[in-house]
Chains A and B, each alone.
Chain A
């Protein structure tokens, strides 16, 4: 885990709020897209 954190771009580390929003939105869209695929099948 510390290895992954070390490899994160320094910009993301600098701005935790922006990174949090980015990750939150990615997770949000992930849930929607995966859910759509499952519901279609």
Chain B
């Protein structure tokens, strides 16, 4: 069941994209990460050019982070002040990232830069997770219990401009969240990811935030970073394809909900090891594709706009003629789907509780 993407100018199988985004969504729900670092390479494998894969995955992350953040807002597990400080750094980092992206695109090296960045990120995370997961399994077998330090002090804690964060019960330099946000924003702009896999450990081990506030605050930050990335990609490169975004959002939102449910009943150490192996396999596949596979010159397909269906024609024209409006529309589209999914989830959750009460 092939669908033509009017902006990316490639055909993709709708069932493949839906199932892949669903599977990545399940993994996101299980491990509490955005999944962008897995979905973007998958899109590249299935023929979506890297420039388009990065931009559209950023728009998909916007929808999923709005959905998750709304759920945390309703549960009151969000530190806005800390989140906004990270957003300040994130905005600067995103602009620097887009500037770097533009530079490499200008010299014609952006595809190899994206592939290399993914390969290293997957290899680093995969190696770290594999060692941690195997260590946990080993400790569980030998029944060893280790006590972890609550808060370790680094040089970053000695920076000036200290302020209070009442919700997190912290008194810390404003530069700590700003520097972390800067790194996350930079990586998000180049790679089309939310950056939760950097942000979450940084919030736990460097900032020292309470665990219950971390997922909500991380998702809150991701909203702003992915809004900037989506808008700048739409405006600068007209690379947002709403048909692809729609497929990605539907698959990942359903997958995330399923993953969160599944995570309640599965041993995390073994799963972490399995995910690590998966990341390493994807990393080596990208390495093979980048270094050894023979790339045949792709045929340039001239598309006659009049042959497209009305929806594709409308999307293509809007993207080319009104990039600002199109960028804003992409953002509103993702936000609406995300908020809608969060409220649907709450509705079903309340319905379930009501029936359980009645049965009791």
Which A residues fall within an 8 A CB radius of B?
Answer: 21, 25, 28-29, 31-32, 35-36, 38-39
Given contacts A21-B130, A25-B130, A28-B280, contact A39 B123 (CB under 8 A): no
How many residues of chain B are within 8 Å of chain A by beta carbon? 15
Is B283 part of the contact surface with A, judged by Cβ < 8 Å? yes
Cβ–Cβ < 8 Å partners of B280 in chain A? 28
Which one of A21, A25, A32 contacts B287 once the chains associate, using CB atoms below 8 Å? A32
Chain A interface, >50% SS class: helix
User: Inside 8 A of B123's CB, which chain A residues have their CB?
Assistant: 28-29, 32
Chain B residue numbers with a CB within 8 Å of A28 are: 123, 127, 280, 283-284
Residues A32 and B130 in contact, CB atoms below 8 Å apart: no
B268 interfacial contact with A, CB 8 Å: no
Residue B269 lies at the interface, judged by CB distance under 8 Å to chain A: no
CB-defined contacts of B119 to chain A, threshold 8 Å: 32
Q: How far is the CB of B123 from chain A (nearest CB, A)?
A: 6
Q: Contact between A35 and B127 (Cβ–Cβ < 8 Å)?
A: no
- Complex Cα gap A38–B119 (Å): 15
Residue of B nearest to A18 (CB): B134
Measured in the bound complex, the distance between the Cα atoms of B132 and A21 in whole Å is 13
**When the two chains form their complex, are residues A25 and B127 in contact, meaning their CB atoms are under 8 A apart?**
yes
Interface residues of B (CB under 8 A from A): 112, 116, 119-120, 123, 127, 130, 134, 280, 283-284, 287, 290-292
Query: CB-CB < 8 A to B130: which residues of A?
Result: 21, 25
Known interface pairs A25-B130, A29-B123, A32-B119. Does A39 touch B284 (Cβ–Cβ under 8 Å)? Answer: no
Which residues of A lie under 8 Å from residue B292 when comparing CB positions? Answer: 35
- Give Cα A18–Cα B35 distance, bound, in whole angstroms: 29
Contact B112 A39 (CB under 8 A): yes
A35 in contact with B290 given A25-B127, A28-B284, A29-B123 (CB within 8 Å): yes
Find the B residue at minimum CB distance from A34.
B291
User: CA A14 – CA B14 in complex, angstroms?
Assistant: 50
Chain A residues near B134: list those with CB within 8 A.
Answer: 21
Partner of A31, one of B120, B127, B287: B287
Q: Evaluate contact between B284 and A31: CB separation under 8 angstroms.
A: yes
Whole-angstrom distance between the Cβ of A31 and the nearest chain B Cβ: 6
10 examples of A-B residue contacts, CB within 8 angstroms = A21-B130, A25-B127, A25-B130, A28-B127, A28-B284, A32-B119, A32-B123, A32-B287, A39-B112, A39-B291
Inter-chain CA distance A25–B291, complex, in Å, is 18
Task: Please tell me if the beta carbons of B284 and A36 are within 8 angstroms of each other in the complex.
Answer: no
Judge whether A36 and B127 touch: CB under 8 Å.
no
Residues of B near A38 (CB, < 8 A) are 291
Picked from A21, A32, A39, the residue with its CB within 8 Å of the CB of B120 is A32
Q: How far is it, in angstroms, between the C-alpha of A25 and the C-alpha of B129 when the chains are bound?
A: 12
Q: How far is the CB of A26 from chain B (nearest CB, A)?
A: 10
Cα separation A36 to B130 with both chains bound (whole Å): 23
* Chain A residue at smallest Cβ distance from B122: A32
Q: Measured between C-beta atoms, what is the minimum distance from A38 to chain B in Å?
A: 7
Q: Kindly report which residue of chain A lies nearest to residue B292, judged by CB atoms.
A: A35
Residues of B within 8 A of A31 (CB): 284, 287
Which residue of chain B is the closest to A24 with respect to CB atoms?
B280
